[in-house]
Amino acid sequence: MPAPEWLRIRRDKDVPAEDASLWVKCPKCSEMLYRKDLGDNAYVCMRCGHHFRMHAYDRINLLVDSDFVEIGDHITPGDPLGWVDRRPYPQKLEADREKSKLSEAIVTGFATLEGFPVALGVMDFNFRGGTMGTVVGERVTNLLEEALRRRLPCIIFTASGGARMEEGMLALMQMAKTTQAVERFMSDGNLFVTVLTDPTTGGVSASFAFESDIVIAEARASIGFAGRRVIEQTIRQKLPDNFQTAEFLLEKGHVDMVVDRRQIRDTLVRVLDYAVDRKRLAPALKAVPEFAGA
Amino acid sequence: MPAPEWLRIRRDKDVPAEDASLWVKCPKCSEMLYRKDLGDNAYVCMRCGHHFRMHAYDRINLLVDSDFVEIGDHITPGDPLGWVDRRPYPQKLEADREKSKLSEAIVTGFATLEGFPVALGVMDFNFRGGTMGTVVGERVTNLLEEALRRRLPCIIFTASGGARMEEGMLALMQMAKTTQAVERFMSDGNLFVTVLTDPTTGGVSASFAFESDIVIAEARASIGFAGRRVIEQTIRQKLPDNFQTAEFLLEKGHVDMVVDRRQIRDTLVRVLDYAVDRKRLAPALKAVPEFAGA
Amino acid sequence: MNVIVEREKSLSALESRIEALRERDAGSDEVKQLESKVEQLRRDMFGNLTPWERVNMARHPKRPLSSDYLAALDAFDELHGDRHFRDDPALVGGFAKLRGRRVVVLAQMKGRDTKENIRNNFGMVSPEGYRKAKRLMELASRFRLPIVTFVDTSGADPGLSSEERAQGEAIAACLVTLAKVEVPVVASIIGEGGSGGALAIGLADHVIMAENAVYSVASPEGCAAILWGDAARAPEAAERLKLTAADLEGFGIVDEIVAEPIGGAHRDGARFVEKMLDAVDGALRLLEPLAPDALREARYQKYRRIGAWHDDAATRAVSGA
Amino acid sequence: MNVIVEREKSLSALESRIEALRERDAGSDEVKQLESKVEQLRRDMFGNLTPWERVNMARHPKRPLSSDYLAALDAFDELHGDRHFRDDPALVGGFAKLRGRRVVVLAQMKGRDTKENIRNNFGMVSPEGYRKAKRLMELASRFRLPIVTFVDTSGADPGLSSEERAQGEAIAACLVTLAKVEVPVVASIIGEGGSGGALAIGLADHVIMAENAVYSVASPEGCAAILWGDAARAPEAAERLKLTAADLEGFGIVDEIVAEPIGGAHRDGARFVEKMLDAVDGALRLLEPLAPDALREARYQKYRRIGAWHDDAATRAVSGA
Ligand SMILES: [Zn+2]
Ligand SMILES: [Zn+2]
C-alpha cells in the first residue's frame, strides 16, 4: 500500500560521523571492519555477530518503508533542579547534542513498516546514556497519545541507563507518566511492542519496556533492572558472563523472543500482521495528522 | 439481624457416630481425648493442636448463625461407566452413604454467618475420599449459580483426594464445569472464598480451590496438586515433613492465610465484612428461594 | 514395551519380503497374494483396537507429535516465557497461521528422542508453562485471535519444584482464562490426554480427538496401582476408564473424531496431520461467526451439561450425553 | 553513623541532668533555665535541617515504621503471597480499617532490629512482593476498596535472584495496575522513598509525605559514587537531588506534607502516626465521592503534568509545578 500523504520525509537530518575513520574494530572479536560494510550489515559484526550500538536515525532508516514523520522534537529539556556536578547540566546536554546530533535520548514519530502505519519511538544511548528525563517521558507519552488518537500500533525501541539523575524525582516520575499513557493506549485494544536493545536497565526496564504486549529483545543485548556492579556488590561475587543478556532472559521467561538485529524488521512486520486487524487501521491511514511537527 | 424466613432449619440430619467410644486417641501426640470435649474444641486436639478431619454437618454447625438450608441434595450419583474394581461402584457409594451419613462428598446450601447471608459448600473426606465426581461438580456449579442469582458471597470448604476415578473423564470434566461457574460468579463482582482443609489435592486443587478471591488454608492441612507418593517416586527421595502443609504453602506464597480451625469462623466474618458491601446484600436477604430443595 | 511396536515387528518381516519380491516382479500372483495377506493381517491386528492397544498407539514412538503439527502450519512464530520465572519448553505457544487464518497456538511438546524428551521434560508441563499459556490466551483474546491447542501429555509435571511453584493454581488459572476468553477455542487431543495437565489447555468450544488418542482422568498404570496395587493390570484399567475417543464422544466430552489409517496415524503421519488441521479449520469456520457472548454462553452450556447424575427431586435421570 | 543519632547523644547528657534536677526541685530557676536551654539547643540542632540531615532522619533507628502504622489501624488482616512463588515479608498487605473505613493496605517493611531486618531484607522488596502488591491492588479494585500505601524502602532488592525473576517487570506491573484501578489510591512516604522500588506502590491520586521523609531517584551515596566516585560525598549529592518533601511539593510530585515535631517524628511517634492516618483519612474523604472515570482521569492528568521541559514549537516553557 502506498505511503499516505502525511508521511513526509524527515530523513535529511544529519547523521553523526562520530569517528571519521573508514575502519572500525569489533570490540568482541577484534576484527577490523570496513565502516560501510558494517552499516550495510545493520551494524552487526560480519565475523562474530556482535551488535554495535546504533544511532536512532540509522535504526529508523533500517525499519521504515520510506518516510518518517518526526513528532515531539519541539519538546526539549530544561534544567529544573539547576543541576551541577562536574559541569552544569545544560552544558552536558549541549555536549550530548553535539556528539549525538540528537535533541534528546529518544526520537518519536510515524512511519509505515511494510505498509503498516505505526507510531515509532527509538531511544539512543548516545544521548545521556539513554536516560529517561522529562523529555523522554513527555515524548513517549505524547507518542502514545497520538497513536491512541489514531488507533495505530506503537513500537518503541529502548536503550537506557535508567532514570536521569540530573532531573531527580522529575525523571523518576516519568515512569508513572509513561505507564499511564501505556495503560490508556493498551486498554483501547491497540498493539504495543517493545524492542529492548543494548542496554535496557533501571527505570525504563521497570516501566514501558516491560509493559507491552510483545517484548522482543535484540540479540546479545544487556537487559535488567539493577546494574551489574550493584548486584556484584550485593552478592559479593562476580556474575556469570551471560547474566542479564537477552538470551539469559529468554530462558528465564522474561521476553517473548530474542531476535538478531538483521531480522528485527521482518519480525515486527510478522507481529503486526498477526496482531493487527487491517480493517481497524484503514481510517488511520487516511487520517491527517494535526500534530505540530508534521 | 434476624435470620430471614427462608433460612429454615436443616440440622436434624443424622450426624455420624462413626465410633461409639467415648475416648479418641490423637494420632499426632497420642493423648487420649474425651470425645465430647474434642467436639467442643472444634475437633482440635486440646494438647497438640492436631486438626481432626471433620464431618461436613459438624463443620456447618460450627459456622452458621442458626439455620442452614441445604440445596442440591436431590442430586445423587449415577454409574455412568458401569464401574467395577473390587466391588461395583454403586456398592461403594452405598457403603459410603452408610458410613458417612452423607448423600455425596459435598453439602451445599445457604446460611448466615454473623448476619451475612452466604452460599456455603462443605466437602467431606468421609465420602469417597472427598473425590469430585459428577455430583460434586453439579452441586458446586448449582451452588454458584444460585449464589450468582442472589448476588450472595460464596464460601467453599474443600477436602478432596482429586477427581473421582470411578466416573472417569466425566469426573475430570467437573474441573471445567465448576471453573466456568466460578468465572461467571466472580465476573459479576461477587466474593468467592475457599477454605482448604486436610487434604486438598488433585483436580480440586487445580480448579475451584485456587480460583477464589481469598484462599484460606486450615492450619496443618495437607494441600497440593500431585500426591506425596507420586512426587517421591519422581524425585526418588523422601520429602520433608512440612512439604505440602498449609504452613509451607504460606511461605511459598500460595495461600492468603493459614488459620486455626477455632478462628476460621471469625476470620470468615472479618473477610465478609471487608469485602462485601452490605447494601449489595440487602435484596438478597429478602429474596425467597425458588430452588427445589428449600 | 509398546504392544503396537511389538506387533509391527512381526509384520515387518513379511513386509520386507514383499518389498524384495516386488522389486523382482511387481505384478506376480505371489506378490498380490502376499500383499492381500499383509493387508488382512494389518486389519486383524489393528482394525479393532482395545483401549489398552489405543493407549499404546497414543504413545507410539513414531506417532505425529505437536512439533509435526506446528511444522505443518502456514506460519508459526513462537512466543516465550511467563514473564516471571522461566520459559517452559514442555508447552510451546505463539502466533500462527492455519489455513490462512491468524490464530494463537498452544501445544504440549513430547520429544521425538531422549535428548528432546529430557529438554521438554517428556511433555510434562510445569507451572510456568501453564502461566505462559495463560498469558498467550489473554493475548489472543485481546486481539480477537482464535486459540488452537494441541494436547499431548501424560500429565502435568509431578515434581517437587512444580509443587513449590503452585502447580494446582497454575492449571486452575488456565482453566479460568479459557472460561473467560471471548474468542473461539479449538482443542485437539492428538496423543495422550493426561488428566488435569491436559485439560488445562483442553477446555474448548470444540474438542477434536484423534481416533487412537486417549484422554483419561488417570493413567491406566496409576489407576491399576491404586485399585489393585499392581501397575501391570493397566490393560484392565484402560478398559474401565473409558478413555477412547468413541467413549468420550458418547459422553459429550469430545465433539469430533478424526479417523486414523489402519495401523495408526504414524502410518501416514503427514496426511493425518493435514486431516487434523482441516478439522480444526472446519471447526473454526463454524465458531467464528458467533458473537463473543453467544460463544461464551455455548461454551458454558457445553460443560454445564457434562456428567451423569440422578435428580431425585425430578425423579428422573439427568445425563449429559 | 547516623548524624541525627550522634547529635541526640550530645543532648542526652543535658537531658538526664535536667531529669535528675527535676526530681529534686521541679520549679527551680536552674531547672527552668536548663529546660529552655535544651529547648533552644533542640531548635538549633533540628529546626532547619539540611537535605542530608533529613536523609538521616528518614533512616533514624527510632523512626516510626510501617509496622507502627499498621498497628495503629482500627483493624488489619494480612493477606499473603503472590500465589506463585513466595510470600515476601518486605512488602506486607491486607484488608484494613482506617478511621472506620474499609481499605486495602500495602506497606514496605523495614525492620526494627537486625533480626527483623534480615527477615524483611531491610525493606527491599523482591519481585514476588510486588506481584503480591499487584494482586491485592486488583482485589481492592474488584471490591471498590481504596488503596492505602506506606512507602519506606531504600529501593527494590538488587539481588541476583530478583533479577532472575524479572524485578523490572514486577515493578512495571504494579505501576500499570495502579494506573488502572478504579478506586482511590493514597500513598504516604513515611521514611525513605528509594527510586522505582518506592514508586511501585507510590503512584497515587494523593501523595502525602512526612516532613523529614526523603524520596529520591537514587540514594545520595549511590549518586555520589556515580558522580564523583566517592560515596562519602553523599551529603552534597543529597543537596543536589532535591529529595525533601518541600522540594517535591514544589515539583507537584507531593500533594501534602505532614509536619513532624522538632527533632523528628520519633520524638512523639504514636502521635505522629495518628497525624499521618488523619491525613490519609482526609484525602480519602475527598477522593471517595469521585466516580471511577473522574478519578482515573484526574490521576492521569496529575502525572501527565509532571516534568519541566521547553516546548520550542510553542516557544514557551512548560512546567508541571
Ligand atoms: Zn566481531
Ligand atoms: Zn494431639
The tens digit of pLDDT for each residue in C171-200 reads 999 999 999 999 999 999 999 999 999 999
In this structure, the answer to whether residues C206 and C160 fall within a common structural domain is yes
Task: Flag whether D287 is in a domain.
Answer: yes
In this structure, the answer to whether residues D220 and D71 fall within a common structural domain is yes
Per the structure, how many domains does chain C have? Answer: 2
| Cα–Cα dist D236/D241, whole Å | 9
Helix residue spans in C184-261 (DSSP H) = 195-199, 220-228, 234-241, 245-250
| Cα–Cα dist A57/A224, whole Å | 25
In this structure, the answer to whether residues B173 and B38 fall within a common structural domain is no
With CB atoms and an 8 Å threshold, state whether C81 touches A253. yes
Per-residue pLDDT, averaged over D121-143, amounts to 98
Q: CB burial class (10 A; 0-12, 13-18, 19+) of residue A173?
A: buried
In this structure, the answer to whether residues B146 and B29 fall within a common structural domain is no
Smallest Cβ–Cβ distance between C309 and the set B75, B179, B226 belongs to B75
Q: Model-level pTM?
A: 0.95
Residue pair A156/A190 in contact by the 8 Å Cβ criterion: no
In this structure, the answer to whether residues B144 and B17 fall within a common structural domain is no
Smallest Cβ–Cβ distance between C95 and the set A215, A250, A274 belongs to A274
In this structure, the answer to whether residues C80 and C147 fall within a common structural domain is yes
| Cα–Cα dist B192/B185, whole Å | 8
Q: Could you list the beta-strand ranges (E) of chain B.
A: 23-25, 32-34, 68-71, 75-77, 106-113, 116-123, 154-160, 192-200, 214-218, 257-259
| Cα–Cα dist D295/D283, whole Å | 13
With CB atoms and an 8 Å threshold, state whether A253 touches C144. no
DSSP letters, C61-96, are TTS--HHHHHHHSSEEEEE---SSS---TTEEEEEE
Tell me the per-residue pLDDT of D220-232, one tens digit each, with 9 for 90 and over. 999 999 999 999 9
Tell me the per-residue pLDDT of C19-47, one tens digit each, with 9 for 90 and over. 888 888 777 888 888 888 888 988 999 98
Whether residue B4 is predicted with pLDDT greater than 80 in this model: the reply is: no
Among B216, B254, B277, most D C-beta atoms within 10 A, so best to mutate, is B254
In this structure, the answer to whether residues B31 and B109 fall within a common structural domain is no
| Cα–Cα dist D301/A177, whole Å | 9
- Confidence class of residue A197 from pLDDT cuts 50, 70 and 90? very high
> Which residues of chain D have a CB within 8 Å of the CB of A80?
251, 307-308, 319
How many interchain CB pairs under 8 A, B with D? 60
**pLDDT number for residue B15:** 46
Contact between chain A and chain C (3 or more Cβ pairs less than 8 Å apart): yes
CB contact A225 to C (< 8 Å): no
> Which residues of chain C have a CB within 8 Å of the CB of B168?
216-217, 240-243
Smallest Cβ–Cβ distance between C166 and the set D84, D131, D169 belongs to D84
In this structure, the answer to whether residues B38 and B134 fall within a common structural domain is no
- Confidence class of residue A165 from pLDDT cuts 50, 70 and 90? very high
Q: Report the sign of the C-alpha dihedral through residues D188, D189, D190, D195, in that order.
A: positive
In this structure, the answer to whether residues C20 and C155 fall within a common structural domain is no
Tell me the per-residue pLDDT of D154-186, one tens digit each, with 9 for 90 and over. 999 999 999 999 999 999 999 999 999 999 999
Q: Which residues fall inside 5 Å of ion ligand 2, going by CB?
A: B 26, 28-29, 31, 45, 47-48, 50
CB contact D34 to C (< 8 Å): no
Judge if ipTM > 0.90.
Answer: yes
Whether residue A270 is predicted with pLDDT greater than 50 in this model: the reply is: yes
In this structure, the answer to whether residues A91 and A188 fall within a common structural domain is yes
Per-residue pLDDT, averaged over C89-98, amounts to 98
Whether residue D317 is predicted with pLDDT greater than 50 in this model: the reply is: no
- Apex D290 CA angle, D287 and D296, nearest 5: 90
In this structure, the answer to whether residues A272 and A214 fall within a common structural domain is yes
CB contact D135 to C (< 8 Å): no
B289 against B148, higher pLDDT: B148
Task: Flag whether D311 is in a domain.
Answer: no
**Where do we find the cell 444460585?**
B146
Smallest Cβ–Cβ distance between C165 and the set D84, D127, D170 belongs to D84
Whether residue B112 is predicted with pLDDT greater than 80 in this model: the reply is: yes
CA of D50 to the centre of ligand 2 (A): 61
- Confidence class of residue A281 from pLDDT cuts 50, 70 and 90? confident
Per-residue pLDDT, averaged over C114-120, amounts to 96
In this structure, the answer to whether residues A162 and A203 fall within a common structural domain is yes
Task: Flag whether C321 is in a domain.
Answer: no
In this structure, the answer to whether residues D107 and D253 fall within a common structural domain is yes
CA of B155 to the centre of ligand 2 (A): 28
CATH of the domain at B235: 3.90.226.10
In this structure, the answer to whether residues A118 and A263 fall within a common structural domain is yes
Tell me the per-residue pLDDT of C245-270, one tens digit each, with 9 for 90 and over. 999 999 999 999 999 999 999 999 99
Q: To which H or E segment does residue D152 belong?
A: strand D147-153
Q: Which chains does chain D touch, 3 or more C-beta pairs < 8 A?
A: A, B, C
Tell me the per-residue pLDDT of B172-191, one tens digit each, with 9 for 90 and over. 999 999 999 999 999 999 99
Residue pair B53/B107 in contact by the 8 Å Cβ criterion: no
In this structure, the answer to whether residues B158 and B286 fall within a common structural domain is yes
Contact between chain A and chain D (3 or more Cβ pairs less than 8 Å apart): yes
With CB atoms and an 8 Å threshold, state whether A165 touches D223. yes
C-alpha cell at B170: 466425566
- Confidence class of residue A287 from pLDDT cuts 50, 70 and 90? low
* Chain A (87-146) residues lying within 8 Å, Cβ to Cβ, of chain D: 134-135, 137-138, 141
Among A151, A192, A274, most C C-beta atoms within 10 A, so best to mutate, is A274
Range of weakest confidence among A113-122, A143-152, B12-21 = B12-21
In this structure, the answer to whether residues C22 and C94 fall within a common structural domain is no
Task: Flag whether C188 is in a domain.
Answer: yes
Whether residue B28 is predicted with pLDDT greater than 90 in this model: the reply is: yes
CA of B247 to the centre of ligand 2 (A): 18
CA of A106 to the centre of ligand 1 (A): 27
User: A145 vs A142, A182, A293, B294, C104, CA distance in Å?
Assistant: 5, 9, 15, 56, 28
| Cα–Cα dist A194/D315, whole Å | 32
Closest CA to B259 of B188, B155, B187, B130: B155
- Apex A272 CA angle, A268 and A276, nearest 5: 165
Whether residue C18 is predicted with pLDDT greater than 90 in this model: the reply is: no
Smallest Cβ–Cβ distance between B250 and the set D81, D128, D139 belongs to D81
CATH of the domain at C271: 3.90.226.10
Whether residue A292 is predicted with pLDDT greater than 70 in this model: the reply is: no
In this structure, the answer to whether residues C264 and C290 fall within a common structural domain is yes
Among C84, C87, C131, C174, most D C-beta atoms within 10 A, so best to mutate, is C84
Last residue of one domain, picked from the residues B10, B26, B52: B52
Whether residue B3 is predicted with pLDDT greater than 60 in this model: the reply is: no
CA of D123 to the centre of ligand 1 (A): 43
CA of A222 to the centre of ligand 1 (A): 17
Task: Flag whether D317 is in a domain.
Answer: no
CB contact B74 to C (< 8 Å): yes
**pLDDT number for residue A286:** 60
Smallest Cβ–Cβ distance between C168 and the set B85, B224, B230 belongs to B224
**pLDDT number for residue B285:** 60
In this structure, the answer to whether residues C74 and C188 fall within a common structural domain is yes
In this structure, the answer to whether residues D81 and D184 fall within a common structural domain is yes
With CB atoms and an 8 Å threshold, state whether B252 touches D143. no
Task: Flag whether C309 is in a domain.
Answer: no
Per-residue pLDDT, averaged over D272-298, amounts to 98
Residue of A nearest to D238 (CA): A168
Q: Report the sign of the C-alpha dihedral through residues D271, D272, D274, D279, in that order.
A: positive
CA of A44 to the centre of ligand 1 (A): 8
Last residue of one domain, picked from the residues B52, B73, B95: B52
**pLDDT number for residue A20:** 58
Mean pLDDT of chain D: 94
- Confidence class of residue D202 from pLDDT cuts 50, 70 and 90? very high
- Apex B223 CA angle, C164 and B198, nearest 5: 160
**Which ligand places an atom closest to the C-alpha of A46?**
1
Per-residue pLDDT, averaged over A89-96, amounts to 97
Range of weakest confidence among A228-242, B234-248, D88-102 = A228-242
Residue of C nearest to B83 (CA): C240
Q: How far is C172 from chain B (nearest CA, A)?
A: 5
Tell me the per-residue pLDDT of C190-245, one tens digit each, with 9 for 90 and over. 999 999 999 999 999 999 999 999 999 999 999 999 999 999 999 999 999 999 99
Whether residue C17 is predicted with pLDDT greater than 90 in this model: the reply is: no
Residue pair C120/C90 in contact by the 8 Å Cβ criterion: yes
Whether residue C120 is predicted with pLDDT greater than 80 in this model: the reply is: yes
**pLDDT number for residue B266:** 98
Q: Which residues pair with C257 in a beta bridge?
A: C209
Closest CA to A274 of D293, C54, C7, C76: C76
With CB atoms and an 8 Å threshold, state whether B251 touches D86. yes
CA of A39 to the centre of ligand 1 (A): 14
Whether residue B248 is predicted with pLDDT greater than 60 in this model: the reply is: yes
**Which ligand places an atom closest to the C-alpha of A49?**
1
> Which residues of chain C have a CB within 8 Å of the CB of A267?
77
Per-residue pLDDT, averaged over B232-239, amounts to 84
Per the structure, how many domains does chain A have? Answer: 2
CB contact D131 to C (< 8 Å): yes
Task: Flag whether D250 is in a domain.
Answer: yes
Residue pair D93/D104 in contact by the 8 Å Cβ criterion: yes
Whether residue A14 is predicted with pLDDT greater than 60 in this model: the reply is: no
CA of A115 to the centre of ligand 1 (A): 34
Contact between chain B and chain A (3 or more Cβ pairs less than 8 Å apart): no
In this structure, the answer to whether residues B132 and B40 fall within a common structural domain is no
In this structure, the answer to whether residues D43 and D81 fall within a common structural domain is no
CB contact B156 to C (< 8 Å): no
Range of the domain at A60: 53-291
Contacts of C294-301 with C-beta under 8 Å, sequence gap 24+, read C295/C182, C295/C183, C295/C184, C295/C205, C296/C180, C296/C182, C298/C205, C299/B180, C299/C179, C299/C185, C299/C203, C299/C204, C299/C205, C300/B180, C300/B184, C300/C179
Range of the domain at D39: 3-48
> Which residues of chain D have a CB within 8 Å of the CB of B206?
none
Q: How far is B255 from chain D (nearest CA, A)?
A: 6
Per-residue pLDDT, averaged over D92-105, amounts to 98
In this structure, the answer to whether residues B167 and B225 fall within a common structural domain is yes
* Chain C (71-100) residues lying within 8 Å, Cβ to Cβ, of chain D: 83-85
Q: To which H or E segment does residue D67 belong?
A: helix D66-72
Task: Flag whether D318 is in a domain.
Answer: no
Whether residue B10 is predicted with pLDDT greater than 80 in this model: the reply is: no
**pLDDT number for residue B277:** 86
In this structure, the answer to whether residues D72 and D176 fall within a common structural domain is yes
In this structure, the answer to whether residues D30 and D100 fall within a common structural domain is no
Smallest Cβ–Cβ distance between C172 and the set B137, B211, B235 belongs to B211
**Cis geometry, peptide bond prior to residue A199 (ω within 30 degrees of 0):** yes
What proportion of chain B, given as a percentage, has pLDDT over 90?
Answer: 80
What secondary structure letter does DSSP report for D126? P
Closest CA to D226 of A164, A119, B186, A271: A164
Smallest Cβ–Cβ distance between B189 and the set D87, D95, D142 belongs to D142
C-alpha cell at A215: 517484548
With CB atoms and an 8 Å threshold, state whether D175 touches A175. yes
**pLDDT number for residue B282:** 67
- Residues ≥6 apart with Cβ < 8 Å to A265: A62, A63, A113
| Cα–Cα dist B177/B136, whole Å | 11
| Cα–Cα dist A39/A60, whole Å | 13
Phi first, then psi: what are they for A22, rounded to 5°? Answer: -80, -20
